Amino acid sequence: MNLRTLNLRLSIRTRLFILLLLLTILPFLAYRFAIDLHRLLLNNQAIVQKQTVENLALILQNRTDLWALQILSGDPSRLSHLNLQNSVLWIVNEYGRTTYVVGNLPLEDDKNRERDFFTALGKSLIKTLATVIPYSLPYPYPQSQTPEISLIQQALYGKTFQQYRMDNEQQPISLMSATPLVYKNNIIGGIVLEQRMETLFSDTLDYFYRLIGIGALIFMIVTIGAIVHTASLSNRIIRLDNDVKRTFNLQGKLKATFFPDRYQRYYNDELSDLRHHIHEMLSQLAAYERYLKQLPKTLRHELHNPLNRLSMSLSLLEKETQHTQLDYAQHALAQLKQIIASLSEATSVEDSLNQQPPEPFPIGLMLHHYLENSATLHPEYHLQFHNSIGPNTLVLGDGFMIEQLMDKLLSNAKDFSDGKTPIEVTTYLQDKQVVIAVQNSGPNLPQGFEKQIFEGMTSIRTLNKDDQAHLGLGLYIVKLITDYHHGQVRAENIVIDKPKGISGVRFIVELPVYGK
């Protein structure tokens, strides 16, 4: 099953919004990257603190004088990663009692640190996403509110151990590392180093938050710009589509007035050029349509006097002399008059439909009288009919136009009938529609002509039995009248009597019922 089978239609606006929705994955990827960066920084800082406390233990064991100078100076030069302004160093004896403390552990937390706008924005976004997708930082070591107890015990057991100190909300506030002090293979105590969480992280994390903030702001600006541009472009396309639709009336004909050539002239792009080209094309079509509409009237008017003079001249010649060519000329003259009358008829019907306001009329009674009169006045039709539409069924339109529609259908059925079966007319109601079906036996319609025959100047006649000129305007008039009544007309090939090999054509007109 493919998209064509599903008949899935996505507008330009929908497709772009889907693309923007896919782009929203980027903030979640940045969020995932932030968690991984936290994990990496925590592991690295824990390793650095572990190495620091082990180095301090080695210095204390081997060079007590050097250790004292480094610690008392407050700014150790050989242990650059130890900052006693932001950390505390404990010395404990073999009994686990603290004998010496040096350093300073600041009390302010991370919230009081000053950050620029983009850094604060990035951190706020990460925290906001954390409320949508909760997470806990992957702290690599255990946590406790009193970590010093287990730390000192592990150090006196000869192990280097690390643990986080937690606050009342179970959030880590500092990292502590402990390692044993060994003298002549005997554990004589331990060293404990504690640093607050905000001092553990270097400026790298703030740089990352700044990058997230700048990227988020750019992403927001681009997204808003894309949404505004998409909405504007889509609205312009929709307006153009609506303007083109309003250019045609219900019968599919061009109206006298068009949409403006340019909508808001400050647009100067491909879409405005397309609007201009469509306007020019419709203007040319309207001019051509006006020319075609006026052509039959012009021909009738301009040819009327010459044809009358020619007819009078032929009549005078017939009185003075007898010749077979005069009969041919009179017959050709009659055909020419019929052609001009046929051309004028289609234009007259269209003009009448445009000027005549629709009114509800009882179509059942109208069809009943019409079919009875047609069967009496036109015995050559061999007409059989069955009308099951009640007298109270109304259709909004013009009853005289429906009669003209029936005239064209019956005339067409008579011209193509082979006389093997009568012409049948059936009328009935179906799904709030008045259905009129006219069928005749005879040759089937060529493949693909089921819709084309309702176009003007289209005829499939190979021979005119009545030796008359046919311009293919009869079914075109049927289509005009059906469209005026907001109905539909179609043609189909049928099998009337399969054993006898009798086939034919059925024309079906469907008109909506008024008031239901």
Same-domain status, 505 and 388: yes
How many residues would you count in the chain? Answer: 516
Same-domain status, 363 and 400: yes
Give the residue-averaged pLDDT of 289-312.
68
HSE-CB for 308 with a 13 A CA cutoff: 6
The answer to whether residue 149 is domain-embedded is yes
Same-domain status, 339 and 401: no
Burial of 123 per CB tally in 10 Å (0-12, 13-18, 19+): buried
Alpha carbons 36 and 25: distance in angstroms, whole number: 17
The answer to whether residue 220 is domain-embedded is no
pLDDT for res 42? 77
Say whether pLDDT at 359 is over 50: yes
Q: Which two tokens stand for residue 52?
A: 């620091």
- The 10s digit of each residue's pLDDT in 258-296 is 777 765 556 677 777 788 888 888 888 877 777 666 666
Q: Which residue has the higher pLDDT, 138 or 391?
A: 391
The answer to whether residue 401 is domain-embedded is yes
The SS3 of residue 507 is: strand
Number of domains in the chain: 3
What is the distance of C-alpha 132 from the center of its chain?
A: 30
Domain boundary among 355, 377, 403: 355
pLDDT for res 4? 47
Neighbours of 26 (CB within 10 A): 13
Give the residue-averaged pLDDT of 17-22.
77
pLDDT for res 298? 67
341 pLDDT tier (thresholds 50, 70, 90)? low
The answer to whether residue 223 is domain-embedded is no
Q: Tell me the pLDDT of the chain averaged across its residues.
A: 77
Say which amino acid occupies 162.
Q
Same-domain status, 202 and 275: no
Same-domain status, 100 and 22: yes
Say whether pLDDT at 3 is over 50: no
72 pLDDT tier (thresholds 50, 70, 90)? low
Domain boundary among 336, 355, 374: 355
Alpha carbons 457 and 470: distance in angstroms, whole number: 9
The answer to whether residue 432 is domain-embedded is yes
Q: Which residue has the higher pLDDT, 320 or 441?
A: 441
Say whether pLDDT at 247 is over 90: no
Alpha helices in 386-470 (DSSP H): 399-416
Same-domain status, 127 and 199: yes
Same-domain status, 324 and 362: no
Same-domain status, 418 and 303: no
Best mean pLDDT range from 26-40, 337-351, 362-376: 362-376
Domain of residue 439, CATH code: 3.30.565.10
Same-domain status, 193 and 59: yes
Alpha carbons 492 and 434: distance in angstroms, whole number: 18
The answer to whether residue 228 is domain-embedded is no
Closest CA to 497 of 442, 425, 415, 426: 442
- The 10s digit of each residue's pLDDT in 450-473 is 777 877 655 555 444 455 545 567
1 pLDDT tier (thresholds 50, 70, 90)? very low
Closest CA to 161 of 176, 146, 178: 178
First to last CA, the chain: 40
pLDDT for res 77? 46
Say whether pLDDT at 6 is over 50: no
Q: Do 181 and 193 meet the contact criterion of CB atoms below 8 Å apart?
A: no
Domain of residue 46, CATH code: 3.30.450
Q: Which two tokens stand for residue 252?
A: 């599919």
Give the residue-averaged pLDDT of 219-232.
81
Same-domain status, 351 and 361: no
Q: In the beta sheet, which residues pair with residue 395?
A: 361
Residue range(s) defining the domain that contains residue 398: 357-461+468-512
| Phi-psi sector, 432: left (phi>0), alpha (psi -120 to 50), beta | left
- The string of DSSP codes covering 268-289 is -SHHHHHHHHHHHHHHHHHHHH
Domain boundary among 213, 228, 256: 213
Closest CA to 249 of 501, 484, 506: 484
The answer to whether residue 196 is domain-embedded is yes
Q: Which residue has the higher pLDDT, 238 or 301?
A: 238
Alpha carbons 364 and 390: distance in angstroms, whole number: 5
Same-domain status, 278 and 169: no
The answer to whether residue 236 is domain-embedded is no
Q: Which two tokens stand for residue 298?
A: 């012009």
Alpha carbons 364 and 370: distance in angstroms, whole number: 10
Best mean pLDDT range from 35-44, 176-185, 222-231, 285-294: 176-185
Same-domain status, 327 and 372: no
